[in-house]
Homo-oligomer: A and B are copies of this chain.
Amino acid sequence: MSGNTFGTLFSVTTFGESHGKAIGCIVDGCPPGLELSEADVQPDLDRRRPGTSRHVTQRRETDTVEILSGVFEGKTTGTPIAMIIRNEDQRSKDYGNIADTFRPGHADYTYWQKFGIRDHRGGGRASARETAARVAAGAIARKWLNQRYGVVVRGYLAQLGEIKVPFKDWSDVNASGNSFFVADASYVPRLEEYMDALRKSGDSIGARLAVVAHNVPVGWGEPVFDRLDADIAHALMSINAVKGVEIGAGFACVTQRGSEHGDEFTPDGFLSNNAGGILGGISTGQDVVAHYAIKPTSSIRLERNSIDKDGNAVKVSTEGRHDPCVGIRATPIAEAMLALVLIDHALRHRGQNGDVVCETPKLR
């Protein structure tokens, strides 16, 4: 049991169900002295928030966060920071029809088998709503990493179904009207058309996304099991609907020669970044780069074969309010998880004599 805590020195424990009273988390291990208020956390929550465009769930939640502890006179004290987000728009009756049946591809079935009881309303604990608490925690991690080391964590959607969106510019990702987090805003009309057709069809679609951390010092990560890349894989795969994770070149390395894959060094820096900024599980000082695949939403309007709790054959289709592509809102979540991995390793890392050394990356 348990399993709702992430991190060793900077740990986050989340709670809450989709249609319960509230969701939230306790962040333990935030260094003292960081200026912090709800205003630092709310923007990331707003980026993840439902109902911001017609392409995502229309559930209406303000996702207003309240900090309950760990901050005194505007600064963190080194003690646990509890954050709470009250649920507001719980239209639980939408879910009555799935209380006794299982959606194909959904955690309905496994929760029921494992626990013998489940809060079926909106997916209960298995809902992506839980990730709002991660985003809140990640916002704190990001602020500290940025202030202390200049680390910047950001992500984008690289592929929506068959549509690959090449990286153009970071400024495009947050451009006005770009509700897709793509790094080339000129693709937005084409994506909107794609999503409109998809929504009409009652189906859903997968996505491929990227998340990147700039300015990570060299030396973060602990061999051999607590590698930075292994922890990133753990973190990203723990996000609802993620089915694959790549570091750097990822699966492309299968057909690479060693002479191509191994990033050459020069006195002025690395000549490439197939490693994704990690060698031997330890950061190299280059950008940390990961990709991940998000499966299509399992709650779709199309009718599908399933069973009920007694094992009888039934047909299931889901009305409710669901994202036809959960990948669209995944970027802030992945950014949060990457930041949580990085801050934990930042705090674990020590230099040669057991002291922290703020290494300046020797190479870029």
A174 to chain B, nearest CB (A): 23
> Does chain B have a CB within 8 A of A138?
no
Say yes or no: A77-B115 contact (C-beta < 8 A), given A20-B68, A69-B15. Answer: yes
Contact residues of A between 52 and 101, Cβ < 8 Å to B = 66, 68-70, 72, 75, 77-82, 84
Contact residues of A between 239 and 276, Cβ < 8 Å to B = 240, 243-251, 253-267, 271, 274-276
A153 to B229 Cα, complex, angstroms = 24
> Does chain B have a CB within 8 A of A51?
no
Q: Which residues of B contact A6 (CB under 8 A)?
A: 225
Interface pair B78/A1, CB less than 8 Å apart: yes
Interface pair B117/A352, CB less than 8 Å apart: yes
In the complex, which of the residues B207, B224, B306, B355 contacts A358, with contact meaning CB atoms closer than 8 Å?
A: B355
> Does chain B have a CB within 8 A of A186?
no
Interface pair B356/A356, CB less than 8 Å apart: yes
Q: Which residues of B contact A299 (CB under 8 A)?
A: 258
Q: Which residues of B contact A350 (CB under 8 A)?
A: 1, 31, 347, 356
Say yes or no: A114-B295 contact (C-beta < 8 A), given A105-B274, A223-B79. Answer: no
In the complex, which of the residues B5, B116, B119 contacts A28, with contact meaning CB atoms closer than 8 Å?
A: B5
A163 to B24 Cα, complex, angstroms = 47
Q: Which residues of B contact A125 (CB under 8 A)?
A: 77, 79, 223-224
Say yes or no: A254-B82 contact (C-beta < 8 A), given A5-B11, A16-B68, A28-B13. Answer: no
A36 to B5 Cα, complex, angstroms = 23
Q: Can you sample 20 A-B contacts with CB below 8 Å? A: A2-B10, A3-B223, A4-B80, A5-B5, A5-B13, A15-B68, A15-B79, A16-B82, A26-B26, A31-B353, A32-B352, A72-B124, A77-B117, A79-B125, A105-B258, A206-B255, A243-B250, A244-B251, A271-B305, A347-B354
Q: Which residues of B contact A245 (CB under 8 A)?
A: 233, 237, 244-245
A36 to chain B, nearest CB (A): 12
A207 to B257 Cα, complex, angstroms = 10
> Does chain B have a CB within 8 A of A166?
no
In the complex, which of the residues B23, B66, B281 contacts A107, with contact meaning CB atoms closer than 8 Å?
A: B281
> Does chain B have a CB within 8 A of A111?
yes
Interface pair A348/B264, CB less than 8 Å apart: no
Q: Which residues of B contact A31 (CB under 8 A)?
A: 1, 350, 352-354
A310 closest partner in B (C-beta): B267
In the complex, which of the residues B117, B144, B293 contacts A354, with contact meaning CB atoms closer than 8 Å?
A: B144
Interface pair A264/B305, CB less than 8 Å apart: yes
In the complex, which of the residues B80, B243, B294 contacts A14, with contact meaning CB atoms closer than 8 Å?
A: B80
Q: Which residues of B contact A261 (CB under 8 A)?
A: 105, 206, 295-296, 298
Interface pair A79/B258, CB less than 8 Å apart: no
Interface pair B257/A296, CB less than 8 Å apart: yes
